[in-house]
Structure 1
Amino acid sequence: MGVRSSTWVTALLVLLGLTVVGSVVPAPVVALGPGPTFDTLGEVNGTPVVSAEGLPTYPTEGHLNMTTVGVTDGITTLGALGLWASGNHRLAPRSSLYPPGESSEQVTAQNQQEFDGSIANAEAAALTHLGLPTRVTVGTLTEGSPSAGVLEPGDEIRAVSGMPIPSVQVLLDTLAPAPPGEPLTMAIVRDGTPREITVTPAAHPADPARAFLGITPATSPTQGQELEITLGDVGGPSAGLMFSLALVDKLTPGPLTGGRFVAGTGTVDAEGGVGPISGIRFKMLKAQEVGAQVFLVPAANCAEAAADAPDGLVLARVGTLDEAVAALETLDAGGTPPACS
């Protein structure tokens, strides 16, 4: 065998070895791309995504799709390169989603906690927008916290140490100066029965000077009325805006979408403020793929969205839930809502 032939054989063997390694050895990256999308006006596995009991509801039309970012983990080097070359994915260090020292289960639990918080905020924002009477309730409890076994999810909190609690913000303001270790008396209503309980706050894990009760308060409708948002296997807070819009649509006469296919994204706080999210490009791509005509964009993401918007997708700039409702009403009336630029 000549020197040139030997060189070619060696090169081919090296290439073959690299190919085998690249197709087997996991890369230290994840691929981010378009993820699943769900119509918040529809059903998933036979269960309505958004529902209400004890309140008048009305027929809806069209779509209000929440969008997500898909994460592909456990990919090989060649697989990562293939996804990157497709142009519809971005590679990110695995440690940016799964920090060292945290298990996948811990990350999933944190995402679920953020999702639960977004549901509570979405309900509060919708109730505030609609001007419906509300009460402060216990949303979720932290396992092993001072409130576990004393308070229960759904308990209505009427007063803390004699201070009336008309809103979640008043509750937070009342608890803020409470020192750890000093018992708090709470007037609550459980299953329609008023009662008084005592909770002794612990020191907050992140700041020992602060009191920690281990409850996530929620804004709920009045007794006998209930809002429910159900969507499994989805984490994070970015669906809040679309959940709120679905509630507003179902609780008011006339279809909010005007029959259009509307998609969008954005966090929402209890007062209705819409916050920025990540992965706006991937969410717009998925929205276009499933046939959306309009995409609601958080104001803080507008510049990024406008620079990379898919052809034919109308972008509407929204900074609050009120603005999102107004944008859809403007479209229904034949007008043009504020756009991203």
Structure 2
Amino acid sequence: MTLFTDDDLRPEPSTPPERIRPKRSVIVGWSFVGAALVLTLVLALVPAPYVIEQPGPVFNTLGTDQPVGSPPSKDAKPLITIPSQTTYPTAGSLDLLTVSLVGNPDSLPSWIEVASAWFTPSKAVLPVDDVFPPGTTTQQSDKENAQLMVDSQQDAIAAALNDLGYTYPQEVVVKQIIKGSPADGVLRVGDEVITVNGVHVPGVQTLRDLLKANGAAKPAKIGIVRDGVASTVEITPEKSGPTVIVGIGAGMHYTFPFDVMIQLNNVGGPSAGQMFALGIIDKLSPGKLNGGEHVAGTGTIDNEGNVGPIGGIRQKMYAAKDAGNSWFLAPQSNCDEVTGHIPSGLKVFAVKTLDDSLAVMKALTSHASTTGLPTCPAS
């Protein structure tokens, strides 16, 4: 038998349990996790002051107004129609390319979208102010791009018809005068510019070249027609960077011998001009201009056949490759952006004029070597 004293039966005093503190490394680790979660949330929600350029829809100028690769549509219309003229069968494609823009001043992309685009070769990140100058609304930008598309179509028709040997009235017209410029008070909106120093002016580029040749040291004699009356005025150009200007916005006015209708909605800007011109030439010419090949390209064009630089050319090369093209016509003045960024399997020709592009078409048609044709180097 076990005996207990009163003291033995009293419960022992309780002691509080020992608290185990987490290691310092664990605290630091969870702090980083929390900070990362907050940062991720911020990046996902806070808009970035950038927009993202990425490849947009591709359209075959020899086909319909539906994007290449889209399901057949009963509403599709021929992209180029020339109703009053004999047109000829075509083959392959002459693709024009577009760029889609993610973001605008009213709806900017998130930092996560921007960060992802930085590491995607087919995308480009641009400051929003470079694409939408301060004070320019999205609606104003869309309206301007729509007008540029209309003007580029007119210039493309002119370039094609001039190449095919058609004759028709085409005038260089003063469309804007900069206040305080050398032309202010001398020229008027609506004046037709005929000559510079006695040399005929067939297009805006020739006007620029002749003024540059005149220089800023002496007056240029400019022949004009105003309200049907011919006269000559003198204007001394002023230097503006590497060139000289008189302070006018000049454009073209055409009276075409027949209608050429281009059906392409919801696409803006002037960069499809070259491919419109090639598509028109192909439709109005016997044979297959591209030899039945799939050719893509980009570049502005004027009535004299000069091919000019455009934006978003890297994205357009990826769009061309994804649409199944092996050949690409790029403005020579864009080669610095092309070199080092050409997708595998795409050969890029450098063209300055419509004649350069037609030389590529001739080589493809005759299955001749393209080795001697100017290209943008791959690297």
Q: Normalising by structure 2, what TM-score? A: 0.68
SS in 1 for 2:260: strand
Give the aligned CA root-mean-square deviation in angstroms: 3.2
Question: Which residue does 1:297 correspond to in 2?
Answer: 330
Give 2:101's aligned amino acid.
V
Q: 256, 276, 299: which is aligned to 2:309? A: 276
> Which of 51, 54, 64 lines up with 1:30 in the alignment?
51
2:114 maps to amino acid: A
What is the 5 A alignment of 1:244-263? 244-263=277-296
Query: 1:178, 1:211 within 8 Å by CA — same for their partners in 2?
Result: no
Distance in 2 (CA, whole Å) between partners of 1:75 and 1:122 is: 35
In 1, the alpha carbon distance for the partners of 2:158 and 2:354 equals 11
Q: CA separation in 1, counterparts of 2:325 and 2:248?
A: 46
How far 1:168 sits from its partner (Å)?
Answer: 6.6
Secondary structure of 1:43's counterpart equals coil
Is residue 202–residue 304 contact of structure 2 (8 Å, CA) maintained in 1?
no
Residues in 2 aligned to 1:305 and 1:30: alpha-carbon distance in whole angstroms = 21
One-letter amino acid of the counterpart of residue 254, structure 2: T
Q: Choose the corresponding residue for 2:227, options 182, 185, 203.
A: 185
Q: 2:41 aligns with which of 12, 20, 40?
A: 20
Answer 1 or 2: which has greater strand percent. Answer: 1
Structure-2 separation of matches of 1:210 and 1:18: 51
Structure 2 CA distance for partners of 1:298 and 1:210, relative to 1, 3 Å: closer
Q: Do the aligned partners of 2:172 and 2:203 also contact (CA within 8 Å) in 1?
A: no
Q: 1:122 aligns with which of 134, 145, 156?
A: 156
Paired position in structure 2 for 1:239? 272
* Pair 1:221 & 2:244 matched: no
Residue of 342, 353, 358 corresponding to 1:309: 342
Q: 1:265 to 1:210 in 2, by over 3 A?
A: closer
Letter in 2 for 1:59: P
The alpha carbon displacement at 1:264 in A equals: 0.6
SS in 1 for 2:125: strand
* 1: CA distance, partners of 2:162 / 2:288: 20
2:168 to 116, 134, 147: 134
**Alignment: residue pair count:** 290
Contact 2:203 2:304 in 1 (8 A): no
What amino acid is aligned across from residue 299 of structure 1 in structure 2? Q
- Aligned counterparts, 1:1-341, within 5 A: 2=22, 3-45=24-66, 46-73=76-103, 74-136=108-170, 169=203, 185=227, 217-222=252-257, 225-337=258-370, 338-340=373-375, 341=377
Alpha-carbon offset, residue 131 of structure 1: 0.6
Residue 299 of structure 1: how far off its partner (Å): 1.8
Q: How far, CA to CA, are the matches of 1:217 and 1:275 in structure 2? A: 16
- Distance, in Å, in 2 between the alignment partners of 1:49 and 1:6 is 65
Task: Measure the CA separation in 2 of the matches of 1:281 and 1:211.
Answer: 33
Distance in structure 2 (CA, Å) of the matches to 1:304 and 1:328: 23
The one-character-per-residue Cα deviations of 1:256-283 (angstroms, maximum 9, x if unpaired) are: 1111110011111110011122222221
Distance in 1 (alpha carbons) for counterparts of 2:31 and 2:57 = 45
Cα deviation, 1:277-336, whole Å, max 9, x if unaligned, reads 222222111111110021112122235434322222222232211221121012111213
Paired letter, 2:94: L
CA–CA distance in structure 2, aligned partners of residues 58 and 10 of structure 1: 71
Deviation at residue 242 of structure 1 after TM alignment: 0.2
Q: How far did 1:138 drift?
A: 12
Report the CA distance between 1:216 and its aligned residue. 5.7
8 Å Cα contact 2:325-2:346 kept in structure 1: yes
Question: Percent identity, aligned pairs only?
Answer: 34
Looking at structure 2, the residues matched to 218 and 47 of structure 1 have their Cα atoms a distance apart, in angstroms, of 27
The alignment's TM-score, normalised by the length of structure 1, stands at: 0.75
- Whichever residue aligns with residue 154 of structure 2, its letter is A
Contact 2:53 2:99 in 1 (8 A): yes
- Cα separation, partners in 2 of 1:336 and 1:319, compared to 1, 3 Å: farther
State how far apart, in whole Å, the 2-side matches of 1:339 and 1:243 are: 22
Unaligned runs of 5+ residues in structure 2 are 1-20, 67-75, 177-189, 193-199, 208-221, 230-245
Q: Which amino acid aligns with 1:239?
A: A
Contact preservation (8 Å) 1:112, 1:234: yes
SS in 1 for 2:267: coil
SS in structure 2 opposite 1:99? coil
Contact 2:172 2:202 in 1 (8 A): no
Rg: which structure is higher?
A: 2
Q: Deviations over 1:139-185 (max 9, x none)?
A: 9x99xxxxxxxxxxxxxx9x97xxxxx99749x98xx7779xxxx53
Kept after mapping to 2: 8 A contact 1:34/1:70: yes
